[in-house]
Chain A
Amino acid sequence: GAVVSQHPSRVICKSGTSVKIECRSLDFQATTMFWYRQFPKQSLMLMATSNEGSKATYEQGVEKDKFLINHASLTLSTLTVTSAHPEDSSFYICSARGVGEGTVPYGYTFGSGTRLTVV
């Protein structure tokens, strides 16, 4: 079935540095990628949506200059947290919709998440 590989699974970085999170779709083409953040004991909050080859659209309140999203190919999307601060510490999850054998009809395939800690 469809798989989205998300890396890294955990990252600790110093305040002020940037962190890049990658999501790769395996065995299918991710035409749309969604990026979420999830705080402990809370639901998923959509940050942005990206379509391959297009600029990402960000949800209200999400700083596009802070959370840079690139979806340059049908199998790779990246989220870069720039100038990270402790309040950016969270669990970041990508989710892909796409085409190809093994994709779930009407389905979303999620990455395994990245736990970011900014110290």
Chain B
Amino acid sequence: GIQVEQSPPDLILQEGANSTLRCNFSDSVNNLQWFHQNPWGQLINLFYIPSGTKQNGRLSATTVATERYSLLYISSSQTTDSGVYFCASYRNDYKLSFGAGTTVTVRA
């Protein structure tokens, strides 16, 4: 399957800080996605971003497919941003291959 590497593994932020999370993938993909898992385990879709840049509030993501990486930006972080951020992709079978995740802790 597709190999997905995420960095950094852990990130501690002071409330209000900005941060960048990175996702590298082993093969060309056209369906890169970002997810957030809150501290209680619920996952939600953040972005479907095969290429280009998207923004949703304080979050934005950029994927450079030709260079096989994607970035997730968190601006003006809030304590509610805490949790684990996963990037994932799939081939034709829709089976997501997840990265190991970046655990983000935002301190008040």
Contacts and interface: CB of A to CB of B under 8 A. Distances in A.
Interface residues of A, number: 23
Interface residues on B, range: 10 to 19
Given A43-B86, A43-B101, A44-B86, A110 B44 contact: yes
B45 A108 contact: yes
B95 A110 contact: no
B22 to A, nearest CB: 16
Contacts of A46: 95-96
Contacts, number: 48
Contact of A97 (B42, B94, B98): B94
Interface in A99-117: 104-110, 112-113, 115
B31 A106 contact: yes
Nearest to A97: B94
Contact of A32 (B31, B40, B41, B94): B94
B41 A113 contact: yes
B48 interface: yes
B96 to A, nearest CB: 7
Interface in A21-56: 32, 34, 38, 41-44, 46, 49
